[in-house]
Amino acid sequence: MAGLVIANWKMHGSTAAVAEFVDQWNRLPPLGHVDTVICPPYPYLAAVADAMTGMVLGAQNCAEADQGAFTGEVSADMLADWGCRYVLVGHSERRSLYGEGDAQVAIKARRVTAAGIKAVVCVGETLDNRESGGHEAVVGRQLQASLAEVPAAELVVAYEPVWAIGTGRVATPEQADGMHAVIRAHLHEQYGDAGNDVPIVYGGSVKPENAAELFQCPNIDGALVGGASLDAGSFWQIASAMGAGRA
Ligand code: PGA
């Protein structure tokens, strides 16, 4: 499979910043052997969709409901209608800051895949979980609870150890690859051979400086990039490292 590198801009950006990113991105050479997805805040989806070349559109979240009186919410169907092909579900910031649990993550993932687009289901342990040795069990439980009725063909799993997100403390290639192998085994158990084709991407302080080393790991199919995705050049370098690993 081609590599998959996803930009998660979180709540960053402005019209001017988007224009600058797009201008820089469109001047960079085309990439091979890697799919790039950009998840800007909702108000900038249109600007990104209209202007960027070689980039697939994604969103950072969606509603649990499909439509109705849910002020402030945006449904998966609306995002698909708008041209999004991926939606992040269960990012650790949604889980920790907005109290989203596995049951909600499961509903959202089903909504996204029912809309005919891909759910990027985010899982990952806290520092306490890792230090107590419970990290594999935690991630296993998150997968177990989140993936019911989610078809393998519309699924991406993002492994993001909470202690590595936005901290500059990246998981070692061994830590990331080891957990990806555990996730792959879980996917195989749930989906059979179709589980082997589900991309598993790593997230947590991925930067141009550490990307190549991570992407050499056999179980890492790409990255979910936060901070370093705000700069077109940095994001391109990360995606390029992924493409080189898949060439
Ligand atoms: P980071 O964020 O790359 O800034 O650590 C990753 C994420 O939260 O998806």
Cβ neighbours for 49, distance < 8 A, ≥ 6 positions apart: 57, 82, 83
For residue range 44-99, what is the model confidence (pLDDT) as tens digits? Answer: 999 998 888 888 999 999 999 999 999 999 999 999 999 999 999 999 999 999 99
Strand partners, 87: 59, 119
How many percent of the chain have pLDDT more than 70? 100
Please, what are the domains in the chain?
Answer: 3-246 (3.20.20.70)
Quote the DSSP letter at residue 34: E
- Check if 180 is active-site: no
Contact 17, 69 (CB under 8 A): no
For residue range 36-53, what is the model confidence (pLDDT) as tens digits? Answer: 999 999 999 999 988 888
Which residue has its alpha carbon closest to ligand 1 atom 9? 226
- What pTM was estimated for this model as a whole? 0.97
> Which of the following is catalytic: 93, 125, 160, 186?
160
CA angle at 234 for the pair 230 and 240, rounded to the nearest 5°: 125
How much distance in Å is there from the Cα of 69 to the middle of ligand 1? 32
